[in-house]
């Protein structure tokens, strides 16, 4: 995608949507360094940076069809609705339709999504990290933390307590 659009064009679009803290600094692998990526102060961020606050606002704009246009936004939401791996939000095979995406970069673990519940929609973005544990244990425990926090949000904000299958057994590290 960045070969066609360029990192600077994506950053300009994010800025036009009032996202000042979402920046692509370079493409994965090599090349495609953006103007922001050439700033020595940004080198510490690697591929790019964002904030959970702006990521949740981005997902909300996608849901409303305001990122590119309604058709493209719907395609993007439909794509993340098909996410099969539920390591963070939705861990344990929730019986709640959702559009979510998880990811990792260096010591950070993140998840962003929209939950479509009978009590309403909930957009959320959670990032955790910077632990002094082994990579594998940290990854699993961070995703577990994201999962449990998203469950708490569903319970407290939407009043939902039954979102896992009746016979569901969650196995966590």
Task: Indicate the angle between helix axes 70-81 and 52-63, nearest 10 degrees.
Answer: 110
Q: Does domain 51-166 have CATH number 3.40.710.10?
A: yes
pLDDT (0 to 100) of residue 65: 92
> What percent of the chain stands above pLDDT 70?
84
List the domain boundaries for the chain.
1-49, 51-166
Measure the CA–CA gap between 123 and 143, rounded to whole angstroms.
Answer: 17
Instruction: In whole angstroms, give the CA distance from residue 74 to residue 38.
Output: 33
pLDDT at residue number 171: 38
- Give residue-wise pLDDT tens across range 84-119: 777 788 777 677 888 998 887 777 888 999 988 887
The per-residue pLDDT for 71 is 94
Is the overall model pTM greater than 0.95, yes or no?
no
CB 19 within 8 Å of CB 12: no
């Amino acid at each position: 995608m960045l070969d066609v659009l360029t990192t600077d064009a994506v950053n300009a679009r994010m800025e036009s949507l009032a996202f000042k803290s979402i920046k692509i600094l370079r493409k994965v692998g090599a090349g495609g360094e953006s103007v922001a990526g050439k700033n020595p102060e940004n080198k510490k961020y690697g591929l790019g940076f964002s904030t959970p606050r702006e990521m949740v606002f981005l997902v909300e704009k996608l849901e409303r069809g305001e990122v590119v246009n309604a058709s493209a936004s719907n395609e993007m939401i439909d794509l993340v609705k098909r996410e099969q791996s539920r390591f963070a939000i939705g861990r344990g095979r929730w019986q709640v339709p959702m559009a979510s995406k998880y990811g990792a970069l260096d010591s950070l673990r993140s998840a962003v999504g929209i939950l479509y519940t009978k009590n309403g929609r909930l957009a959320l973005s959670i990032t955790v990290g910077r632990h002094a544990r082994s990579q594998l244990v940290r990854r699993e425990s961070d995703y577990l933390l994201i999962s449990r926090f998203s469950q708490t949000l569903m319970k407290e904000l939407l009043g939902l307590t039954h979102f896992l299958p009746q016979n569901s057994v969650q196995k966590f590290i």
